[in-house]
Amino acid sequence: MSDATLIDPSPETKGQERAAVRVPRRRRWGRLVAVIGGLLLVAAGFGLAHVWSPHANLRITTGPPGSTAQRFISAFASVAKTQHPRINLDLVQVDDLAASAKALEDGRTDLAIVRSDVAPPANGQTIVILRRDVVAFILPPKSHVSSIANLAGKTVGIPAGRLQAYNAQILDTVLGYFDVPAKDVGRVFLSVGELGEAAQQKKVAAILAVGPMAPGEVVDVVAAIAHATKGTPGILGLDEAETIGKRFPGFETIDVPTGAFRARPATPSDTVTTLAVTYRFAAPELMPNVVAAAIARSILTTKAKFMALTPLANQIEAPDPDAKGPLLPVHPGVADYLNNGDQSFFDQFQQYFYVGGLALSLAGSLFAAATTYWSRRRSEADWRPIKRLVEIADAAPRADASGLAALDEEFHLLVSAVLGNSPGGGDTDRMSAFSTALAHARHALDHRRASLSPEPGVRAATTLVAAQ
């Protein structure tokens, strides 16, 4: 049979309500949906690639203008901008170390400079150690103080400045460990030069300074005392430092080598064990491993560039990945990078892209399943009129007059609906099948009508065939 569309010329097909049958017009909508879906899938792929590729907009605390923290963060931001352009830093100014730690704990920042003994955030994890400061009890020349207990009833000097309150808390902590009431030990806050004079005038029995084994507070105080007294200051050792560190996790033990604070005459004159606190770059525990590793890697591999901007960078060091301290543990992403090097870092990149690939694959599978389901439903709807025409042809030989009239009316509605909704370039196979079913049903209806007619020779209605 040639490809043709059968058109019933009967006026009955005009003005009648069309059957609710979905036909090839839906095929055009289906193709449009498929195209739109494909474009959305591609867009989703680019979106996932962007989201899953390691990048971050990070908020980071910075101290008051002119502070050590502010100078370091300025240097870090400058280097990070050129070395790691996918990490954008938003500076969040805070008043002090306690406020910096609180901002991290409250989720108001993503990176913070914290000091291990100053309200360390419960959710904080270490990225890098920025500085390790010695807790030094500096003694004037020829001092009779040989232990912390000897400070009872005496006065301790503390360098005045932004950190004086935190350093005074260190004094209280150490005194408390040795059962020396804090009220029994006086304290004065003086400038470095004034502390030298106070030591020379024996107004202070010791001076508590907290600073690195490099230019800083301890070195300056030792020099001031040596200049004022014309003698060699000493450093009070704390043999109990390890035990103190276990009781107060914000502290750790450190061995200060001979001449660490003054070369000639050497201060200390021999290796001394005491306490230390650490300044750390801390991040929340929920920071993705790859981001934490990227930050640590950026800092540790560009240390020389940091040093060109600030001498403070000379003291940056990697944390011990095996440290098990309860406060500020090493971030897992950083620990993995430190244990396995760059290979681990790039493996983390691959893991993120692998997860992104899985997400894309899943999205593609879901889209394919949805398209298949839609196509199947559309195909079933397109073939439903043909099946109904066959059913009409089968029912016609058994129909009475009223039943035949109902079948004939449904026949005309089907023809009107299919031909009215069919575009010019419909599905050839389906339309050919429709033509065959149409002729079959028309013949069955006409034959039954003739058999029910009381007048012989009733002629069947003519059906026109219009070429496609």
> What string of DSSP letters covers 239-297?
TTHHHHHHHSTT-EEEEEPTTSSBTTTTBSSS-EEEEEEEEEEEEETTS-HHHHHHHHH
Closest CA to 78 of 89, 62, 67: 89
Comparing 426 with 402, the larger pLDDT belongs to: 402
Quote the pLDDT of residue 416: 76
Which three-class secondary structure state does DSSP give residue 89? Answer: strand
Query: How do beta strands 155-159 and 124-139 pair?
Result: unpaired
Quote the pLDDT of residue 458: 46
Measure the CA angle with vertex 372, ends 368 and 378; round to 5°. 145
257 shares a domain with 217: yes
101 shares a domain with 186: yes
Indicate whether 318 pLDDT > 60.
yes
CA distance 26 to 20: 13
37 shares a domain with 173: no
What is the residue range of 460's domain? 4-43+380-467
Reading the block at residue 32, the tokens are: 């449009």
Quote the pLDDT of residue 377: 57
Reading the block at residue 293, the tokens are: 């590793």
Indicate whether 16 pLDDT > 60.
no
What is the average pLDDT across 18-31? 47
The pTM of this model reads 0.64
Listed in sequence order, the residues at least 6 apart from 160 whose beta carbon sits closer than 8 Å to its beta carbon are 189, 190, 191
Looking at every residue in the chain, the average pLDDT score rounds to 79
100 shares a domain with 39: no
Query: Which of 287, 315, 347 lies at the terminal end of a domain, its last residue?
Result: 287
Q: Strands, DSSP E only, in 285-334? A: none
What is the average pLDDT across 166-195? 95
151 shares a domain with 18: no
State pLDDT tens for residues 39-61.
666 666 656 555 555 556 788 88
CA distance 403 to 400: 5
Listed in sequence order, the residues at least 6 apart from 281 whose beta carbon sits closer than 8 Å to its beta carbon are 111, 112, 113, 126, 127, 128, 129, 130, 295, 299
What is the average pLDDT across 29-43? 62
Quote the pLDDT of residue 129: 93
Quote the pLDDT of residue 49: 53
Indicate whether 357 pLDDT > 90.
no
66 shares a domain with 28: no
399 shares a domain with 265: no
71 shares a domain with 24: no
State pLDDT tens for residues 370-409.
666 555 655 566 677 778 778 888 887 887 888 888 888 8
Most confident of 205-209, 315-319, 421-425: 205-209
Beta bridge partners of 253: 275
270 shares a domain with 123: yes
230 shares a domain with 89: yes
The proportion of the chain whose per-residue pLDDT surpasses 70, expressed as a percent, equals 72
Closest CA to 407 of 424, 394, 419: 394
Most confident of 124-133, 360-369, 451-460: 124-133
The total of structural domains in the chain comes to 2
Residue 349 in any domain: the answer is no
Comparing 66 with 21, the larger pLDDT belongs to: 66
Indicate whether 243 pLDDT > 60.
yes
Residue 191 in any domain: the answer is yes
Residue 152 in any domain: the answer is yes
CA distance 365 to 361: 6
Indicate whether 319 pLDDT > 70.
yes
